[in-house]
Amino acid sequence: MPTIQPPATVLVTGASGYVAVPIVKELLDRGYNVRGTVRSLAKGDYLKNLFKAHEPRFQYVIVTDMSDPDAFDDAVTGVDAVAHTASPATLRAPDAQALIKPAVAGTLNILESVKKHGSSVKRVVITSSCATILQPKEGDPVFYTEADWNDHAVNEVQAKGAEVDQQHKYRASKVLAERAAWDWVEKHKDEIKFDIVTILPSFVFGPLLNETRSLSQLNESSLFFYEAIKAEKPPHLATKWFSNIVDVRDVAVAHAQAFEIEEAGGERFIAASTPFSWQTIYDALNSADPPIADIPKGTPGAPIENCAVYVSEKAQNILGVKFRSLQETAVAMVNDLREKEARWTA
């Protein structure tokens, strides 16, 4: 028995985000009703317009501050499941708490609201991150699975305070938010009628459905991609392992499958395709058919240095996700970004 099935209603928090909009689309395409939370009328109206072919199955509600303990009380009322994607995803935070506080509070508040007001909710799927598993390890390559936890980032934030680097701030916020969710479920397991699933995407690339009227609206991972193909990275940066790639459309499928597959309950799932360096992206784009113009060349064929592999067999086996290749994702992203860029400069 699927946990939920269409035409059930799913609440998607942070519905305006790069990762969230394809989740909304995937759910609507499967026949679900979707209620999205956004922080402004303009963001809600953009989505209303984007999904007008699905009227009236897409609705939005405004939740301006998810750190408010009652923020999601109304939003969860009457829904059958929740995808909690909202979390600050930036590497330009003034301090670690600017990320950690909303990430943890938002996660705990959605769970509390479901406990109090979401009597029909069967499952909450939380968008975590491979940032939560990236504990430093020796070796080349090294392998990461769902058994790993990146306590290192949390320790770095505690030890270095204001001096800690941006990546550790973001990683710590994701570790602490996901841990808070599992701890909360353990504490309340006898009082709740729903379970949780966490999806851990690696670095997400692929076509953008979120509003991007200017360069400044690109989310962090899209901006990384945009900048890397605009100006060739120096060799030592181009060949270094950067992360694992995952297509935003596959991340959406992983979330939707997590709702429908009963045995996914109570599990973490890495959503990742393959390791990449910027050189591997350059090579994939330069060997595409049809060819993509004006892509940096770098050092063609150079191997990835200090490679780490996020093992995603669990998502493939249990959720049935078939991850797109690096080349398919990179080509789709560059074509989409260039089309958008032509409109920015027009």
Interacting residues with ligand NDP (CB under 6 A):
14, 16-20, 39, 43, 66, 85-89, 102, 106, 127, 129, 174, 201, 203-204, 210, 219, 221
- If the CB atoms of residues 123 and 139 are measured against ligand NDP, the closer one turns out to be 123
Which amino acid type is present at position 342?
A
- If the CB atoms of residues 11 and 19 are measured against ligand NDP, the closer one turns out to be 19
Q: Which run of H or of E encompasses 291?
A: none
Burial of 200 (0-12, 13-18, 19+ CB in 10 A): buried
DSSP label of 213: S
- Minimum CB distance to ligand NDP, residue 54 (Å): 19
- Minimum CB distance to ligand NDP, residue 48 (Å): 15
Which amino acid type is present at position 181?
A
- If the CB atoms of residues 50 and 236 are measured against ligand NDP, the closer one turns out to be 50
- Minimum CB distance to ligand NDP, residue 312 (Å): 13
- Minimum CB distance to ligand NDP, residue 289 (Å): 27
Concatenating the DSSP letter of every residue in 236-281 gives: HHHSB--EEEEEHHHHHHHHHHHHH-GGGTT-EEEE--EEE-HHHH
Torsion angle (degrees, nearest 10) of CA 98, 244, 145, 111: 40
Cα gap 100→88, rounded to integer Å: 9
- Minimum CB distance to ligand NDP, residue 245 (Å): 9
- If the CB atoms of residues 16 and 312 are measured against ligand NDP, the closer one turns out to be 16
- If the CB atoms of residues 4 and 172 are measured against ligand NDP, the closer one turns out to be 172
- If the CB atoms of residues 74 and 120 are measured against ligand NDP, the closer one turns out to be 74
- Minimum CB distance to ligand NDP, residue 174 (Å): 6
Which amino acid type is present at position 202?
S
Can you tell me which residue has the tokens 């991850």? 323
Cα gap 257→26, rounded to integer Å: 10
